[in-house]
Structure 1
Amino acid sequence: MIGGQPEYPELWAFLESLHCGELLSGTVTGVERFGVFVALDDGPDHPVFPGVGFITIPELSWRRFEAASDVVQVGQRVSCEFLQFDTWNLEARLSLRATGPDPFQAFANGIAVGQKLHGQITKLVPFGIFVQVADGIEGLVRLREPTRTSVETRSEVVQVGDEVTVVVTEIDRERRRLVLSRRQGSTDR
């Protein structure tokens, strides 16, 4: 700030005029490991960043992804919901995922604890096995669940891509987590 006035008055005025929940359109100008820059249609240029809009990684998509470039590409047109004015970086924090329904909540409406589901193992991690039970919906079978054998031989018992039957043991809507059990599911692999 210079003399009590913002250094970039046009940018400040634009950002202060935005309202939480407002839909903004723009073009993706930068895809980084920490988030995505967006040049907003009605916004001024940013003095440092490639766009006055910024989407953090968690706000890109409801679905799990490996890299921001799996969701958006430079040059792509996007419509995002305005979340807040980041006064430190002078940017509009945006959410791309907020513009669509949360598939987990819709899925959770149609299932219940104790229900059997069929799915495919998508990932083996030190604490368990992730099983995709619907498009974009994965649940966790905790490590103590997968088999009666030791951790060292777990990869011999199940592999990524295996089809399994599981039972829903917990639905956490707030944290968007689905906990599953194979023990109660069936005796198949």
Structure 2
Amino acid sequence: MGGLDGMVSAANLSWARFDHFSEVARVGQSVTVVVLAIDRDRERVSLSLKDPEPDPLVAFARSRFGEEVPGIVDRIIPPGVVVRLDAGVHGLVPADD
């Protein structure tokens, strides 16, 4: 990008969960990104690989709000149970105190 380094942080790689960066992108791959910030002093550009795609949670919420939906328990964590509802959409069922 004109001699500047661009970086995509882990949080801006994908809407979906991933275990390793290689599941999202590989060296030499051509990608479309959104420029989030430019640091002229450090000559760096913050980028997002996920932002060119719509947030799957927004589309899911618009189409399924108020409905009872099936899900798969993805993991159990101290605040409750994480349930996979759709591709890229997880929800937290809080544990009772």
Q: How does 1:1-189 map to 2 (within 5 A)?
A: 40=1, 43-44=2-3, 52-113=5-66, 115-144=67-96
Count of aligned residue pairs for this structure pair: 97
Structure 1 residue 67: deviation in Å? 2.8
Q: Which amino acid aligns with 2:85?
A: V
Q: TM-score, normalised by structure 1?
A: 0.47
Return structure 1 stretches of 4+ with deviation > 3 angstroms. none
- Return the structure number with greater relative CO, CA threshold 8 A, min gap 6: 2
Two-structure CA RMSD over aligned residues (Å): 1.8
List alignment gaps of at least 5 residues for structure 1.
1-39, 47-51, 146-189
* CA distance in structure 2 between the partners assigned to 1:112 and 1:99 by the alignment: 24
List alignment gaps of at least 5 residues for structure 2.
none
Tell whether the 8 Å contact from 2:16 to 2:87 is kept in structure 1 after alignment: no
Structure 1 residue 71: deviation in Å? 1.1
CA 1:89–1:67 in structure 2 vs 1: closer, same or farther (change >3 Å)? farther
Q: Higher Cα Rg: structure 1 or 2?
A: 1
